[in-house]
Amino acid sequence: MGIQITPSILNADLSRLADEVARIPSADWVHVDVMDNHFVPNLTLGLPVIEALSKHASQPIDVHLMIEDADRWAPAYAEAGCGSVTFHAEAAKAPVRLAREIRAQGSRASMALKPATPIEPYEALLPELDMLLIMTVEPGFGGQKFLDLCLPKIRTARELMRKHGVETWLQVDGGVSLETIERCAEAGADVFVAGSAVYSADDPDAMVRELKATAEA
């Protein structure tokens, strides 16, 4: 599939969501962060807003669920038409069943790991997943500094995927910018979330293209 950029709308103008998404035609996906003020100390938006946005976005929606009780809620986001649904390993009681339920709805199933959560206990799950998200900041807010300490985990995840012979995409989220994207790509990531880097740029779409070119270099 190659390198893909999935801008996060968290730091966009949320009063004009559809317009903000229309500003990034070069994006491969639109990354939407759902937060419940329990799993993370912040609250954003949920199913009704995503259902409304999906009617206006030309790209598929890559939803990142930072919510408790993922087992209950994640399948509903797949049913709502999100192209990719990411739940957190720390919030899922039955991740294998959950990934299968998401896939059964026709969406890509993805699991996220917070910075302190190791990949090794989840190795056997990799064939059940279409994507693994390695957080490179503590989830909850945009605009945080990239955590270099997560790079070895990206490397390990890529090695484990090779070992299992799976085509799982490897996404990074948090502090991704023109400064940090090369390090992530070199470690083995191929799907890049970028929030503030894209939406604080004068030309967000040019930034998407520049991020992609930098990761591909």
Q: Does 195 bind ligand DX5 (CB under 6 A)?
A: yes
The beta-strand segments (E) located in the chain are 4-7, 30-35, 61-66, 84-88, 108-113, 131-135, 169-173, 191-194
The Cα–Cα gap between 96 and 99 comes to 5
The Cα–Cα gap between 159 and 139 comes to 24
Residue 2 marked as a ligand binder? no
Is 173 annotated as catalytic?
yes
Compare residues 32 and 162 and give the one whose CB is closer to Zn ion. Answer: 32
Q: Does 8 bind ligand DX5 (CB under 6 A)?
A: yes
Find which of ligand DX5, Zn ion, none residue 174 binds, CB within 5 to 8 Å per kind.
ligand DX5
Q: Which of 33, 62, 130, 190 is catalytic?
A: 33
Residue 33 marked as a ligand binder? yes
**Burial class (CB within 10 angstroms; exposed 0-12, middle 13-18, buried 19+) of 156:** middle
In 3-state terms, what secondary structure has residue 76?
A: helix
Find which of Zn ion, ligand DX5, none residue 70 binds, CB within 5 to 8 Å per kind.
none
By beta carbon distance, the residue nearest Zn ion is: 64
The Cα–Cα gap between 212 and 193 comes to 11
Is 203 annotated as catalytic?
no
Q: Which of 28, 62, 130, 173 is catalytic?
A: 173
Instruction: State which of positions 90-149 bind ligand DX5 (CB under 6 A).
Output: 137, 139-144
CA–CA distance from 132 to each of 22, 32, 54, 173, 213 (Å)?
A: 27, 16, 23, 11, 22
Return the closest-CA partner of residue 17 out of 70, 65, 74, 56.
56
The Cα–Cα gap between 103 and 85 comes to 9
Q: What is the smallest separation between the CB atom of 42 and ligand DX5, expressed in angstroms?
A: 8
Q: What is the smallest separation between the CB atom of 186 and Zn ion, expressed in angstroms?
A: 21
Q: Which residues bind Zn ion (CB under 5 A)?
A: 33, 64, 173
Beta bridge partners of 171: 133, 191
Q: What x-and-dash track marks residues 27-46 binding ligand DX5 by CB under 6 A? A: ----x-x-------------
Q: Which residues are annotated as a binding site?
A: 8, 31, 33, 64, 140-143, 173-175, 195-196
Binding stretches for ligand DX5 (CB under 6 A): 8, 10-11, 31, 33, 64, 137, 139-144, 173-176, 193-197
Q: Hey, which residues are catalytic here?
A: 33, 173
